Chains A and B, each alone.
Chain A
Amino acid sequence: SQTIHQWPATLVQPVGSPLSLECTVEGTSNPNLYWYRQAAGRGLQLLFYSVGIGQISSEVPQNLSASRPQDRQFILSSKKLLLSDSGFYLCAWSVRLVGGNEQFFGPGTRLTVL
């Protein structure tokens, strides 16, 4: 069966510090991968998605970046965190087919920028 991991689970970082959040998927090959951010009490905002190694699409302008160094690894980064980067970050995957394929979400990372 497929599983998706995210770490760390929680993170407290000072403003201006770098960020690296990692997501890995097991039990599937060539998945589509996604990074979402959820502000407190709000819905999910798609930040990045990837359909293959090295292929990253950005949905919103921001000081965050994403990379996919391996087929089942997706990394969210920042060189200098802002207070507005605080939130709950969710990684998700789906099979790389059109149709009714749903997205499966990881447990998330709660980021607090102070």
Chain B
Amino acid sequence: AQTVTQSQPEMSVQEAETVTLSCTYDTSESDYYLFWYKQPPSRQMILVIRQEAYKQQNATENRFSVNFQKAAKSFSLKISDSQLGDAAMYFCAYRRGDDYKLSFGAGTTVTVRA
């Protein structure tokens, strides 16, 4: 079974600064997808960014970018120019290419200081 590990239970960042969330995963597959989801206090899960394992280029979505290190099985999320609305719990998730199921990490709570 695939495991996803988020080693930082909590992270704090000053508004307008940058924070990086770590995620590592364990798999023997070559075809898979990685995701970062955001869960604000409303508890609604929102997709932040997606990375295909076969792509070498790191995905970016506005202020959100990832550092995908396939050999190290690492998938970190960088939030630049942090805003108060970025405060949430962030989950890293893995899905095998030919499967439907997502495996989630335990999450990292991000606090943004004004």
Contact = CB atoms under 8 A, between A and B. Distances in A.
B84 interface: no
A41 B77 CA distance: 20
A94 B102 CA distance: 11
B19 interface: no
A23 B46 CA distance: 17
Given A43-B91, A43-B105, A102-B35, A108 B44 contact: yes
Main secondary structure of the interface of B (DSSP, over half): loop
A42 B100 contact: no
Contacts of B91: 43-44
A105 B45 contact: yes
Contacts of B35: 102
Contact of A100 (B33, B37, B102, B107): B33
Contacts of A99: 97
A108 B107 contact: no
Main secondary structure of the interface of A (DSSP, over half): strand
B20 to A, nearest CB: 19
Given A42-B107, A107-B44, A100 B50 contact: yes
A107 B104 contact: no
B43 A43 contact: no
Q: List the 4 closest pairs (A to B, CB-CB), nearest first.
A: A105-B45, A43-B104, A44-B104, A43-B106
23 contacts: A34-B101, A42-B106, A42-B107, A43-B91, A43-B105, A43-B106, A43-B107, A45-B104, A46-B103, A49-B100, A51-B100, A88-B43, A90-B45, A94-B100, A98-B97, A100-B50, A100-B52, A103-B47, A103-B102, A105-B45, A105-B46, A107-B42, A110-B43
